[in-house]
Every structure is written in C-alpha cells, then in structure tokens.
Structure 1
Amino acid sequence: QRGAIQAKIFNLTAGDRYDIGQTISFQLHDTYEHIIQFPAQVLLNSFTVLLATRLKLTQERIRNVLLGKDSGRATVSFQLYEMPSQTPTNEQVIHHLRHLINKQTLNLLDPNRCVLNTVIGSVVVGPKGEPVNVKLFPQASGDYIGEFTPTKIGQHRIDITFANVPVQGSPFFTEVYDPSQVRIGPLPRDIIAATENTFEINLDNAGNVPLEIKILSPTGVNVPLKIDDASSRSTVKKVRFTPNETGVHYLNAKFGSEIVPGSPIKMMVNESRVVTAYGDGIHHALHEKSATFMIDTQDMQGDLKVRIEGPNSVIKNTLERNNDNLYKVTYVPVEVGFVNISIKWNGKDIVNSPYKAAVTNPERVRIIGGWQSILDSEDRMHIIINEEKKIRFDASHAGPGTLKADIRGITDGLRVPIRIDQQGTSYTLSFTAIREGKYDITITYDGNPLPNMPIRANASTASTHSGEHLKVEVHGRGSYEAKINEEAEFTIDASKATTHGSGIPVVRLTGVQADVEVRVRQIEQNIFHCSYVPTASGAYLLSVTWAERQIRGSPFKVNVLSNTNVNHSASRVVCSGDGLKMGILGKEIKCLIDTRGAGPGELTAYCQGASKTAFCRLFDHRDGTFTLYIKPQESGKHILTIKYNDEDVP
C-alpha cells in the first residue's frame, strides 16, 4: 500500500487551558476547484462571520479558518477556543454545529452570494489538548519507531494514521508520570509490633498510575497492609500496616513500572510493650477546674516526665502513683483554648505525644442580647406553638467546642426537633413546638451544660396581640453609634401597636466587658426616650423587646467610639488560633481575630511565602470578631501581616 504514516500526540490534561484551541472541520458538497476561484481572504472572512453568527459566538473564539481539500471536495477547518467568562462551552458549540449540518441548515455564502451546502455528518472534532512534538523513524523492516519527550504528567492521546486513515486501535492513550515526585512519609517515630501503624504517601505532581507498596519483615515475609485515600484529595494515600516481627523492615515502593527513588527504606519495629496515656483529661478539660488522666507504664522501669502548656502559660501538674505501673496526672488549666500535653518516657515522647486537649468554659457562652431578652422575670421562656423560635449564642470566649441542645416535653418526655447553625463561634438554635405545654431546654457546650440548665419554657397559642412587636420602631443615633463618657440617645416608637397604654419595652445594651444601663422614659403614649453613657469603646448589642418578643432588627449593633486618640487601636486587637503558628500545604488554615476592644476600624490581612502569595479570606461575624482563612500555595516559611486602621497588629 502507498501512503504516508503520521502520528500526533496531545496532552489531554491541558484540555482546560484557555490558550489551546480545538480543531473542528466539516466538508462541503462543492468542489475545491470551484471554491478557490474566489479571493481566499474574502472567502475565509465570510466563513468566520457566518460561523460566529450561526453558532452565537464572539469572533475571537473562532480563529485560523482554513480551506482544504478532501477527495476533491472543499473542507473548512477552524480553531474553536474556550473563553473563561463566555458560554456556550466548546462541547455545546460542537453539538449545535452537528445539528445544523445534519439538518442542512448551515448554508455558507460565497462572494457571489451563492449558497454552499455542507455534507451531512461530516463534522470532525479534534482532541481538546496541548500538542506534543513526536518523531517517526522508519526501520528496514518497514516498521516505524515513534519518540516523544513529555514535559507534563497526565493522560496523553496518540493518533496514528496511514494514508490519512486511522490505524486499528487508534487513538491510543498513555499515562505520563514522574516517580521522583512521590513523597513517602514522614514515617512513624515509633513503629510497634502487633499494632496498626500508619504513614502517608503524597502523589501530587506524580501522575495517575498504580502505586505498589511492599514491606518485608526480617524473615522475608510480606507485612499485611492497606492503602486508602487519606482525604478527599485522592493524591494523598494513607498506608496502614501491622507488623508481627520486631527488627529491621524494608519498605519497597513502585510507581507504575518504576522504583520510587530512595526505595527501599529501612524501618525499625520495636516491641509492643509501650507507655500509654488515657482518660478524659488527655482530650478535654474545663477552665479553672481539675482535669485528670492516667499513664500506664506497663511495669517498666524508666523516667516519666509530664509537661502541660497553654497558649500563654505553663500549667502546673501533679503526678500521683497509684501502683507499680499506673500514674494519675491532675492539672487545672488557667485559660481557654488548646493545651499541649507532652509525656516523655526516658526522654522520648510516648505514642501520640504531645496530646492536644481542648479547654472550654461553658459559663462564657453568651446569649446575644442577654438572657433577659428571651426570659421573663421568673427566668422562663415563652414560646408560641407552630412558630419557629431562634436563640443566638456567642461562644467566642468559651474555648474550642461544639454547642448542642436538647428540648423535651416535661409531661411526655418527647423531644422537639432542633437545628443548630454555626458560623465560626456564633450559633443559632432554631426549633418549633407544636403542642402547648411546658418544656425543658438544656444547652451544652463541649458536652458540659451551661449555667442554670435546664431552662423552663411555656408553649401556648399566639395571643390577640401577636405581631405587635413588628410594629415597634427604633430611631436615633444612639441605636447604632455612641462615644465613651458621652450620653447617647434614641427613641422607641410603639405608637402603631394596638396595646395602647399597656406596652412597656425591655431594653438591654450588652458588651464584651460589661453591660451598660439604659434609662427608659415615656414621653408620649407608647413613645419612649432612651439614654445611656458607655464607659468603654467597642462593639455592643442593643436588645429591644416588646410584648416579650424581640422587635424587628433586634439586637442592633452599636459601635462605641473613643474620644481619645485611636491611632493605637491595633494594639487592642487580639489574634488567636493554630493558624498563627503552622499549617499544611493545600489545606485551609484559620485563626480568630477579635477587634471588639479596638473600636471601629478597617481590618486587612496579607500572607506572603517565599515566592507565592497565600490566599486570604476574612469572614465577618458581625459582632466585632472575624475568622481569617489562609490557603498557602507553597511550603516553607510565610509572613502573615494583619493590620487594623493601617497599623500592624502585635
């Protein structure tokens, strides 16, 4: 047979790039000789305008329009480009083009305004990928050897044609990978026999081919192991293995058909008798309350040392020996947050040391607007049946934990369905009672009840004055802004409510450090003048209730400004969280920023690595606190800059 053999290779992983066009072609009924009698540029410009119009595209997406010849007939080919902000997609355009041609409704016009018809089913779509250079070398036997040097990992498509006809099996697909990018470890510091041990293997930028791991024991036996995805990122694998022998083991890793550089790796497996720690105090503790945990030394002789550190303190602990192998550790945390518990045996950390225990204080969980905004004078809550009740909590000063609730009928013990929505350290409890009666509401934080639990609630039908609270309005600057040591004023207008002469508003102004007394004086029927004098700057919440229900918009946020120089407000901004110390590449890091003691101002954050800028996102909780989310783009040391009113936060 006669004909030229051709090979084309495309990197399919580059298919989502916007600077790579996709080749599309179709055939005309008209002969090539008939078409070329017209000026080429005029004809190609006509084709470009027609394609853009009929396919509903901008002309910038249609490039490199060419006229070709196939079996005597004329062919039209062009490059179809994706645009980041434009629709339809390439796939949708190709589907539409096939439909037009098969219905013979795509009619082109030559310069003489004559219609050029297309051949039904003649649309040919090229691969959506980046071309790769390939060389073909003919052999004496008549065979060909093809060579190409890939520069990127991922799936590549190989199209081979002979005499412009695809050979059998074409296109072929091959995976390009790089075993030098496989990252193993770090391996466990202490590998214990008869115990499951784990380590991770990172395949980022390595490719998508099978990973093979074998661990050989000192006697040459393969150790049973299991490989799972470590997270939603399937490029990180977690290897679990349980050795049954002690001594030197060898870890062999193969990626595709290649040995991973650095393999095999030596691993020392030790005896299973190790010092362990257990108990609630190793994971949780209450602020300024005694916490305990146990240490089991397995009847071994050695030096045991325990050190407990809080975010800003070293916490004293006592070590009490119960018997030859059990020790009881007691400590009292002096601040909320996470404490690190380091347990060393003969100078080395025991398994899982250092531990991280969460210290919480449920007494610091606050109702936004104060308890008085939801309770009556007898500390009871009033609920209207079949109407959703919402209670908002602020746990920003309670430490790391989770807020939970349980609501039950007193007589029947049946639970009321609840929903808790969380945004940072703010929680919203929502529930709806469907029966009249009395209920007990128990709120817990990190498993510990809040003070004065449970709350007694009375559920009843809506009164004749239902909805009156929605008719009450608040006016005046003092409802949203004030200055310290200056009287602020606002007015409560309940004149539209029908409870003339009987309604009295309940007003509370709560802050982080202290509440502010609000004086309420009636000046007209159902119109009240309110005033207060704040003594500290910051963000406050103004709660106004009418007929035992919050009015529309309550609680209101009030910014109390300082009369003195506020240029040093940045020094009163408090930043906390593990994200200030370390993070993991590719994972979002977060920390909490509290500006309530600094007064109103602008908060900015910027994080710079060695060569790349990390993504920073600030979430405003609308109570003076923010959560900063940081996503680094490279490993290594980063510099985090946080400014408040253009001044660095210490």
Structure 2
Amino acid sequence: MTVTGSPFHCTVIESTQYFQVGSTAYIDLPSDSHRIEISDPNNHHVKYVVNNYKGEFSLTQTGTYRVHIIKDNEVIATRTLHVFDTTKIDIINAPEAVCHRPAVIGINMTKVGPGKLTAAIKVGNREVAHSVRQSPSNANMWEIVFHPTQAAPHRVTLFYNGVPKFGVLEVPVKGPGNEPWAGGLGLYQARIGKVTSFHIETLGRPGREFDVVISSPTGSAVPVRCYQTKTGKLQAEFTTREVGAHKVEVLHQGKHLSGSPFTCQAFDPDNVRIVDIPTSQGNVGEKVYFNVSTKNCGFTELEIQVTNPIHQSLAVHQTPIDDKLTQVMFQPGMAGLYQVAVTYGGVPVKGSPLALGVGPVGPTPPPRAVGRGLEAGRVGERCSFAVSSVVQPRVTVEAVEGSVEPHVLSPKPGEYVVTYTPKWVGVYDVVVMIGPNELPGSPFHPTIVDPSAVRVIGGWSQHLDDSGRIRLPAKLAFDTGNAGPGPLECTVAGRKVTGEKNGDRVRFEMSGEGMSPGEHEFEMKIAGFSLPEAPSSVVCVGDQVVLTGKGLAQAQCGEPAVFTIDGSKASSGNPEVTLQAADTNIPVPVMISLAGDKIWRATYTTTTPGNYLLSVLWAGRPVKGCPLIVEAKGGADASKVKDSAKVWSAVKSVPGSTPVEPALEN
C-alpha cells in the first residue's frame, strides 16, 4: 500500500555560514546536471562561474545570500550565507573609566550585517569580566560593560562572528576617590632592558611623602627614578633585567596605596620564535598551522593578527600545546598573500610580519566514508563514521535480525557524521547512498560483537591472586558462542599469545617463560574490544631451577664429582652443562642422566688441579649466578674426606626468577 504523496522529497538544509564582504563563495556541484540559483540580500539574481565542479561567486554586499542547488528542476539542497563587514563597526562612545565603577562603550552596528558581537578586554594580560548587551531602545546599538579594578589602560578587542575588528581600543582608567592612587601599565607589565613607567596621582600631597620599592624575582632591588611632572603627578621609571614577576610597592607615608603591592610581569619579546612554518603553499579552504614558542620569555599577551589579500582581518585560533608553545591556526577564504603579525606584550617578534601564500581552491574530492563504525562495533555502544559529500547521504543499517536506525548530523557543509547503535551481534550491512548511487565500497560490513558475552570457562577467580592478577603459568579457556564473530586476542607484556581454537572454544596457555618476575600488562580483546571483566595484569614469580651438590663448588682430581639439577618448579625445558678450565679453556666432559621427574644428575671428573668454570643452562638460558667457580684439588685421598665436611649447596634461578641464595650444608 502506498501512502498518498509518496515518495516524499525532503530538502536538505545545510549549516548556515558566515563570510566577510568581498569574499568568494564556493558551492560544490556533484555533476554537470546540477546548477545553482543565487539571490543577494536585495533578492537580485547573482551570476556565477563553474570551475572544477564548483560554483564561484563574489559576496559584495552585507546581508543574507540564499543558494539553491538544483537537479532536474528540483531543489535538492539549500545554503544560507550571511555576509558582514567588521570595518562598519562604529565605536561612538568610549569615555575615560574609573576604578570600581561601571564603564560603558557604545557601538553602532547598523551597517555591519548579520552575526554576533563579542569582545575581549585585558589589562596587563589579565582578562577582565564584561558583558555585551543590546540597547533596549535601539536594536542597532550595542554596549560593552565592564567594571575595572586596576588604574591602567584597558585594551578592548571587538569580534564579529569570531573575526576581530582591525585595531584595538584602549580605554584609560583612573583611580577613585580622594586618596592618592597609582596607575599605568608599568605596574603590571614591563619589557626587560627598556624603561618602564607608571604614575602616582598625589592629589596635592608633597612628593617626599611617597616611596616606591621594586623587587626582582630573585629578591634584589630594582633602581627607581621618581620625578614630579608639570601636571603635579609623580612619574616612576625603572628598567627590569630579569623575566618574571616583580613586586612593586607604592607607599604614602609608609602605608600602601590601594592595590599595592602590585605584580609586574617582565617579559622578553626578543626570545619569541615563530616555528613550524608551512614549507609549501596551501589552498583556499585548507587550514594553515604554525607554532609560536615563548620559552624563557616571561608572561604577557601573545597576539596574532592575520590579514587576507584585501586587508581584512581573519579569525585566528590559538591553542596552548604546553606552557611555552602555542599552536596558531587560520583558514583562508581566498587565494593570495596573507600577512601574519605576531606581537608579544604589544612588541613585534622576530620574523613578524610573516607572509604566507595561498593558492586557489582545488577540485572537489569524490565522496567517501571513513571511520571505525564501518569496520567494527559492540552491542549497545554507539558506532560512528564520517561521510564527505556535497549532498546529505542516505544510510541504512541492516542486521540478520532486523534494521538499526542511523542518525545523520552535519557539523559543517560537506561533512556528515553518521551514528548507529547495534542491537545484535553479527556482520551488518551499512549502505551509503549519495543521490541515486552507492558510495564506492558500499555496502560496508562491520563486525558487531558483545565482549560481555565472552565467557571464561570456570570463571576468572580460579586464576587470580589476592590482588586480582593472573598467576603465571596459567591456562585460559573461553566460550565465544554468544559473543559474535571476530578474533579473540590475548596479549601479555605487549606480546601476542597464540590461541588454540576449536569451534566456539579458544584456549590460551601462558607459561611466563622468559618473563622477568613481577607484574605485567594483560589484555583480552574480541574484534579489538576489551573484555569488560578481564583483569588488567598478570604476575610472574619466575621459573626456579635448583642446583644442589658438592660438585658445584669443589672436585677431587681423578674422582667423579656430582651435583643435581632440579627443574620441577621450572617451565618446560632441558638442562645443558659445560665445564672448562679457567686458565686454558680446555673443556671437561659432563654426563647428564635423568634422576626423576624433571630432575637430572650431572657427573664430571677432573684430571688437573685448578679452578674451573661451570655453566648450567635451562631451556637455552643461563641459570642465574652461572658460571660457578669449581676448585679441583689433586693428591688427596678421598677416604680422608670427613663425613662432617661442608657440602656446598647452591640454589640458583633462571634470569628474571626469584633468587634463591646459595647455602652451606653440613
């Protein structure tokens, strides 16, 4: 049965975009059969040209442009472009402010265009709280309101849609009341090696009643020169020699003025470096990145200003990488040469301004889909992937048991994020349609598993110590029958353990062989997803090989010397024994015979007195402490060796095992 009106057609509304006046807009066209219709803010038709499947047109007026993408006389997508001009922001009122009283800056926004006004206010690199409000009586009039607490010039930067208005407004701020006060930027920041100043409003008090004391970060005194100006104020001048926080004390008759002691941050712009500058030309629409290092420069404001080929300011994003390195990013909207001005504390740094060339926009890349959600997922957990396309994709997600509803969001034009939450285990079909055609690679086949359904035979507790760690050696068996398709993987200390699969059962044997004693990382995953109840570590106590017997330490020439190798507490392996003279390296044959379960008896006979080196290997690795030194004696009668003579018993371990100290037995 067909519902009346079916099939329905839903127009795709893409994200609204903001452009500066004079920019060029680019509209992606999927094919030659697509066209666009553009109307300007006055509802007049706008002409465009097509290059590399992109419609290009200039934005010459402030206001709203509307674009319809059409195929077969049907609108398949729309775009809304808001155009603004920051040069039309008109500051009509910025009076001198007074500490602890509201300061108001009046702004006329009549000709700016659609968008949002924001601001940043700083004094000596300190952020100042403020608000932006619309006049209740005039929608085109806006006010910036802040409450200064420091008597120093406040720098006000205005932004519109994130783009800064060229130039910074400085609002002077004076102290309040009838008491003397100190003011000026020199109370808060200073460039090392340069004269810095601030003033003291004496309100008629004699200059001799005032004192200024400045201390460097190391506590040493900084010389200060004070003199009376023609206006009656006291001018204080000083020069810093070290970067860092300086203490500035301003006193009247031995008492601190309001705000004293002040903290003045001394900085050195000469050490600022612009690094990681792009070595090749980028294209329109591609983000441009570089870094600024302020190591050993002190603390002050880092300011970046980028202007495009028609001298408009651009939005700039600064991201701190660490305390001394900042990443800078901007996105060019037209081809040409961009000027990047970098200042530190208002002082241009070495290498500024920086000129970066940007080439024209490249051809539209073909639609594509990428992301983990196209390859694997887990039941009950949201999966996602991204689609790059001019138009919104149509997505279906199918499992054997039924369909799963996908959700499509567009964070910005041409990019879509698709999410879905699997309900069942199995291999899914994810179909991605762009217009009437499937995306290359579609349908995709993600493997969906349920790690919580993997069952360890007998439970985990049988393998764990009191700290919840797996004791080695250990044998683990798993049932994956309800967990879905996908390999079960075991990793110990970064090394993959090979499993033995038999139907839905998988067995892993972890011997701990070759591992040092102690705790090691442990991971169990199915299709790349961790098992939720699996422990995170194993503990290895070490393989123990025990050596005992008189033959480990001494021998009588011409008579058999014997010792025992006990490998009953060690992992799989066999012993190897070598004996050679310490001075000549002449080998002595050693006979090894099995004396019990993983217990061997070693016998050798020396013919020449002297010291010998005895080496015992287990599974190809030396027993810890080897080689041992054996002393061979000659001419003694074995019958004279008293039964009470001490017999050397040495207990050693393989590398990484728990050491057992040698012992003397009577």
What TM-score, normalized to structure 2? 0.32
Higher relative strand content: 2
Higher relative helix content: 1
